[in-house]
Amino acid sequence: MCTLADENCMMNSWDDAFRHSKGVEQQQKTGFFNHNFQMEKHNFVTIADLSKEKIMYLIDMASEFEKHPNRELLKGKVVATLFYEPSTRTRLSFETAANRLGARVIGFSDAKASSVSKGETLKDTILMVSNYADVIAMRHSLEGAAQYASEVAPVPIINAGDGAHQHPSQTMLDLYSIYKTQGTLENLNIYLVGDLKYGRTVHSLIMAMRHFNPTFHFVAPKELAMPNEYKIYCREHDIKFQEHTAFNEKVIADADIIYMTRVQKERFSDLMEYERVKNVYILRNDMLGNVKENMRILHPLPRVNEIAYDVDDNPHAYYIQQAQNGLYAREAIFSYCLGITLDDIRADKTIIG
């Protein structure tokens, strides 16, 4: 098996060769969608270049799917889910979204059960699966793996998480959840709590919210503080932010959204460091006595112990509904990637039930 450095080296070599073979056509692909709007291939790899209009367009699509999630819009299509890292909610959400839209699902949930265990490269796996599937949703431990896959694959690639980098489909369900609970994405106080160093969900959320004049509050111990690159990104895009090490009732009193994250043991090379920080911030029910009425608590899940179970019955808790919203957001993503428009969804005659 390749080491992380070896795999990155090979990806770079393949990337150079592929760009050379594709010439100008390949160089024209950029950013979030990697496509001209009329092209058939719509990748969903990074949130960074998603416009405000496109965010609202996808939210409108998700809203339509919430009204009628069971359809046959993707009947005859095959969706591949390739999960090189463990996942429950994301994988099941993608597979359920595909099934509820009438598609068939293939793929793997453990790379050890695939030809990857025999030494098959990422490029070869993507090209092989592209022979069978109309769209690929993939999670990988390497940052940039989904971007690379999108450049070699003849079918659309959806990034279901790449290392500590980005998680754009999670961001879409987060945006949809925020919009549903707040009635807007504009001018919100959003508190990001916990593992901000390795948390790809919070990194993507910062980029997506740049259009909506948020004020972010980064609440983390110094070992898990928001990386400088994202603070620089905030300054470059005039995103207001404050940093906190304290986490108490007073700190969170002005929050519209509290976005909790778990400390990710699998990202730590030093387990002693993990033990030092794993229980630093725990949200308890007795901390919520003075929060704003509209405040909602989000979490990308899985939860370990950073939200006490006595919070679950509090009306401010929204993380279970948030996970359900992932179905509608991912139905929207599949449809968009496969060239189905909002007008197509509204005019759809294949609704079941």
| Higher per-residue pLDDT: 12 or 138 | 138
CATH number at residue 232: 3.40.50.1370
Q: How far apart are the C-alpha atoms of 157 and 334, rounded to whole Å? A: 10
Contacts of residues 178-187 at CB distance under 8 Å and 24 or more positions apart, as own/partner, are: 178/257, 178/296, 178/298, 179/59, 180/325, 181/257, 181/294, 181/296, 181/318, 182/256, 182/257, 182/294, 182/296, 185/55, 185/209, 185/211, 185/212, 186/212, 186/213, 187/212, 187/213, 187/214
Interatomic CA distance for residues 91 and 89, integer angstroms: 6
Q: How many domains does the structure of the chain reveal?
A: 2
Residue closest to 75 by CA, chosen among 99, 55, 107, 59 = 99
The amino acid at residue 83 is F
Residue 219 lies in a domain: yes
The whole-number pLDDT of residue 276 equals 67
Q: Is residue 70 located within the same domain as residue 41?
A: yes
Same domain flag for 275 and 341: no
Place of tokens 């690159």: 229
Is residue 321 classed as helix, strand or coil in its secondary structure? helix
Q: 111 with 212, same domain?
A: no
The lowest-confidence range among 36-45, 128-137, 240-249 is: 36-45
Triad 196, 310, 87: Cα angle to 5°:
45
Looking at the DSSP bridge assignments, the partners of residue 104 are 78
Residue 8 within a domain: no
Same domain, 200 and 242: yes
Claim to verify: residue 173 and residue 303 sit in the same structural domain:
yes
- Rounded-to-integer distance, Cα 176 and Cα 160, Å: 17
Residue 227 DSSP one-character state:
P
Can you tell me the mean pLDDT for 37-51? 75
- Tally Cβ neighbours within 10 Å of residue 148: 24
Contact 51, 210 (CB under 8 A): no
The pairing of beta strand 189-193 with beta strand 215-219: parallel
Q: What is the pLDDT of residue 212?
A: 98
Question: Sheet of 189-193: strands edge to edge?
Answer: 240-244, 215-219, 189-193, 257-260, 296-298
Point out which residues pair with 258 in neighbouring strands. 191, 297
Confidence label for 262 from pLDDT (cuts 50, 70 and 90): confident
Task: Indicate if the pLDDT at residue 258 is higher than 70.
Answer: yes
Q: Rounded to an integer, what distance in angstroms lies between the CA atom of residue 315 and that of residue 213?
A: 26
Question: In which domain, by residue range, is 48 found?
Answer: 33-166+326-346
Digit-coded pLDDT (tens) for 142-190: 889 999 999 999 999 999 988 767 889 999 999 999 999 999 999 999 9
* Mean pLDDT across 217-246: 95
Question: Is the bond preceding residue 302 a cis peptide, omega within 30 degrees?
Answer: yes
d(CA 114, CA 120): 9
In a domain, 290, yes or no: yes
| Statement: residue 87 has pLDDT above 60 | yes
Cα separation of 328 and 312, whole Å?
23
Tell me: do 209 and 312 sit in the same domain. Answer: yes
Q: Are residues 186 and 308 in the same domain?
A: yes
Average pLDDT over residues 116-138: 93
For residues 101 and 248, membership in a common domain is answered with no
* 23: in domain: no
